[in-house]
């Protein structure tokens, strides 16, 4: 039986479960993996492989790492393979229409939201930040616009109030791998028809900046905790105390009412650092100071006494 011929494009860790899920199918053949070039990483600026490249090497799949895929060389290389599908997951380059027209059946993208909600670069963080009850994965036919193509399949999952963007990212990446296999199998059986998105309901989320991590203490306690969860691991939620930057990893809302100004630290003990917010308060459980070590609040306070009254800086 002729195998389904797939060219896979992806770069970060989020893409890896989809690559592995496709490679595990006996009736699929991944003829090429396209990923971003190796980049300098860490303090030593040593060249580092993208996670997808590492997995492709393990799987023994040919790899192509162009700075720009939208060239004549890129077009000719892909067209010569004559794939049935592209599968694109967080690749990191926009594809020209000429490239998108190469697959015999579809170029398919895996997106980490229930489209048309949260098109763009940071859908996972947006779902956590907005305290959504559910989110999910969408497979769609790629089009020129930003995440605007016709939808193929969706898969949804609940979000807990304690879940960080990293934890949700890891769950959704596995779901993406499962859904892309199901999507291609259904198309191959002629039992799946693309459905156009309701563009009037589309929302967009831009790429995060480091400054997005700054905590706004005037917001409600639950909104602040959601912000901290959404910014973990990157860019990281942070605040300033006496001009010094503190990174906050974990906090919980407290319904303890306070008449104090937002950002006011009113209690420090083994249970955490208690901070007044726009509505009620939060308890910081894990944070990092100038030591560069992630510590429980109790361990942090043993080395960094906070003399009350004290207040975190507002925006």
Percentage, residues of the chain above pLDDT 90 = 93
Mean pLDDT of 251-260: 92
pLDDT recorded at residue 44: 78
Please report, for the chain, the start and end positions of each structural domain, with discontinuous segments joined by +. Answer: 4-205, 210-311
4-205 CATH choice from 3.40.190.10, 3.40.50.170, 2.60.40.4070, 3.30.60.50: 3.40.50.170
210-311 CATH choice from 2.40.50.100, 3.30.565.10, 2.30.30.190, 3.10.25.10: 3.10.25.10
pLDDT recorded at residue 104: 98
**How does pLDDT run across 176-202, given as a tens digit for each residue?**
999 999 999 999 999 999 999 999 999
Residue 290 pLDDT more than 90? no
**How does pLDDT run across 31-64, given as a tens digit for each residue?**
999 999 999 987 778 889 999 999 999 999 999 9
At 253, the pLDDT band (50, 70, 90 cuts) reads very high
In DSSP notation, the chain reads: -PPEEEEEEE-SGGGHHHHHHHHT-TTEEEEEEE-PPPEEETTTTEEE--HHHHHHHHHT--EE--S-SSSHHHHHHHHHH--SEEEEES-SSPPPHHHHT-SSSEEEEEESSSTTTTEES-HHHHHHHTT-SEEEEEEEE--SSTT-SPEEEEEEEE--TT--HHHHHHHHHHHHHHHHHHHHHHHHTT----B---GGG--EEPPP-GGGGB--TTSBHHHHHHHHHHTTTTT-EEEEETTEEEEEEEEEEE-----SPTTEEEEEETTEEEEE-SBSEEEEEEEE-TT---EEHHHHHHHS--PSSEEPPP-
Residue 314 pLDDT more than 90? no
Tokens at 26, concatenated: 């006996």
The per-residue pLDDT of the chain, averaged, comes to 96
Residue 1 pLDDT more than 80? no
Residue 233 pLDDT more than 80? yes
């Amino acid at each position: 039986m002729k195998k389904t011929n797939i060219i896979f494009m992806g770069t970060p860790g989020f893409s890896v479960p989809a690559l592995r899920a496709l490679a595990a199918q006996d009736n699929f053949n991944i003829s090429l993996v396209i990923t971003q070039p190796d980049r300098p990483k860490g303090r030593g600026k040593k060249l580092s492989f993208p996670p997808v490249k590492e997995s492709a090497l393990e799987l023994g799949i040919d790899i192509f790492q162009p700075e720009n895929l939208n060239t004549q060389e890129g077009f000719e290389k892909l067209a010569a393979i004559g794939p049935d599908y592209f599968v694109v997951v967080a690749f990191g380059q926009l594809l020209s229409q000429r490239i998108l027209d190469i697959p015999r059946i579809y170029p398919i993208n895996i997106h980490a939201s229930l489209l048309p909600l949260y098109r763009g670069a940071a859908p996972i963080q947006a779902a956590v930040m907005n305290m959504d009850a559910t989110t999910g994965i969408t497979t769609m036919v790629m089009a020129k616009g930003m995440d605007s193509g016709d939808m193929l399949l969706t898969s949804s999952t609940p979000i807990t109030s304690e879940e960080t963007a990293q934890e949700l990212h890891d769950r959704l990446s596995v779901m993406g791998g499962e859904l892309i296999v199901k999507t291609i199998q259904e198309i191959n059986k002629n039992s799946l028809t693309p459905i156009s998105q309701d563009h009037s309901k589309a929302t967009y989320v831009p790429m995060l900046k480091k400054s997005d991590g700054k905590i706004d203490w005037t917001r409600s306690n639950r909104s602040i905790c959601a912000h901290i969860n959404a910014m973990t691991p990157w860019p990281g939620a942070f605040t300033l105390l006496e001009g010094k930057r503190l990174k906050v990893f974990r906090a919980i809302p407290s319904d303890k009412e306070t008449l104090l100004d937002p950002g006011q630290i009113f209690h420090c003990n083994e249970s955490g650092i208690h901070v007044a917010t726009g509505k009620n308060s939060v308890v910081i459980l894990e944070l990092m100071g100038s030591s560069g070590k992630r510590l429980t609040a109790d361990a942090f306070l043993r080395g960094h006494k906070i003399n009350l009254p004290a207040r975190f800086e507002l925006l």
